[in-house]
Chain A
Amino acid sequence: MSDRLSVLKTYKLYVGGKFPRSESGRVYEVTDSRDKWLANAPLSSRKDARDAVVAARKALGAWSGATAYNRGQVLYRVAEMLEGRKSQFVHEVADAEGLSKSKAAAVVEATIDRWVWYAGWTDKIAQVVGGGNPVAGPYFNLSSPEPTGVVAVLAPQESSFLGLVSVVAPVIATGNTAVVIASEKSPLPALSLGEVLATSDVPGGVVNVLSGRTAEIAAPLAAHQDVNAIDLAGADEVLAKELEIAAADNLKRVLRPQPVDDWSATPGIDRMTAFLETKTVWHPTGSLGASGSSY
Chain B
Amino acid sequence: MASAFEYAPAPESRAVVDIAPSYGLFIDGEFTEAADGRVFKTVSPASEEVLSEIAQAGEADVDRAVKAARRAFEKWSALPGAERAKYLFRIARIIQERSRELAVLETLDNGKPIKETRDADLPLVAAHFFYYAGWADKLDHAGFGANPKPLGVAGQVIPWNFPLLMLAWKIAPALATGNTVVLKPAETTPLSALFFADICRQAGLPRGVVNILPGYGDTGAALVAHPDVNKVAFTGSTAVGKQIARTVAGSRKKLTLELGGKGANIVFDDAPIDQAVEGIVTGIFFNQGQVCCAGSRLLVQESIQDELLDSLKRRLSTLRLGDPLDKNTDIGAINSEEQLTRITSLVERGEAEGAERWSPACELPSAGYWFAPTLFTNVTQAHTIARDEIFGPVLSVLTFRTPDEAVAKANNTQYGLSAGIWTEKGSRILAVANKLRAGVVWSNTFNKFDPTSPFGGYKESGFGREGGRHGLEGYLDV
B445 and A281 contact, CB distance less than 8 A? no
Contact check: which of A135, A240, A248 meets B242 at CB < 8 Å? Answer: A248
Residue among B145, B438, B448, B469 with the highest chain A CB neighbour number at 10 A: B448
Closest to A248 in B: B245
**Could you say which residues of chain B place their CB within 8 Å of the CB of A73?**
none
Selected from B245, B429, B443, B455, the residue in CB contact (under 8 A) with A251 is B245
Contact digits for B446-464, partner A, Cβ 8 Å, 1 yes 0 no? 0010101111101110110
Query: Cβ of B257 and Cβ of A279 under 8 Å apart?
Result: no
A281-B478 in contact (CB<8A)? no
A277 near B: Cβ within 8 Å? yes
Q: Are B127 and A136 in contact (CB under 8 A)?
A: yes
CA distance A234 to B198 in the complex (A): 49
Given known contacts A128-B143, A136-B127, A278-B465, A251 and B242 CB-to-CB distance under 8 angstroms: yes
B470 within 8 A of A: yes
Chain B contributes a number of interface residues (CB within 8 A of A) equal to 43
Q: Is the CB of B450 within 8 A of A143?
A: no
Which residues from chain A sit less than 8 Å from chain B, CB to CB?
128-129, 131, 133-137, 139, 141, 143, 148, 228, 237, 240-241, 244-245, 247-251, 253, 256, 268, 270, 277-284
The answer on a CB contact under 8 Å between B245 and A268 is no
Asked whether, in the complex, the Cβ of B460 is within 8 Å of the Cβ of A133, the reply is no
- Contacts A143-B468, A279-B439, A281-B443 known; A134 to B452 CB distance under 8 Å? yes
Q: Are A279 and B438 in contact (CB under 8 A)?
A: yes
Q: Kindly list chain B residues whose C-beta atoms are within 8 Å of the C-beta of A283.
A: 429, 443-445
**Contact present for B241 and A251 (CB under 8 Å):** yes
List residues of chain B with CB under 8 Å of any chain A CB: 127, 143, 145, 238, 241-243, 245-246, 249-250, 252, 257, 259, 414, 429, 433, 436, 438-445, 448, 450, 452-456, 458-460, 462-463, 465, 468-470, 478
**Tally of contacts, chain A with chain B, CB under 8 A:** 104
Among residues of B, the one whose C-beta sits closest to the C-beta of A237 is: B250
Question: With A248-B242, A282-B448 as given contacts, are A133 and B441 in contact (CB-CB < 8 Å)?
Answer: no
In the assembled complex, the CB of B407 is this many whole angstroms from the nearest CB of chain A, namely 12
The interface residues of chain B lying within 8 Å CB-to-CB of A279 are 433, 436, 438-441, 458
Show 5 A/B contacts (Cβ-Cβ < 8 Å), sorted by A.
A133-B450, A133-B452, A135-B453, A228-B459, A278-B456
In contact, B460 and A250 (Cβ under 8 angstroms): yes
Q: How far is the CA of A148 from the CA of B442 in the complex (A)?
A: 20
Min Cβ gap A255→B in Å is: 11
Q: Which residues of B contact A136 (CB under 8 A)?
A: 127, 450, 452
CB within 8 A of B460: which of A251, A280, A281? Answer: A251
Known contacts A251-B459, A277-B439, A283-B443; is A245 also within 8 Å of B249 by CB?
Answer: yes
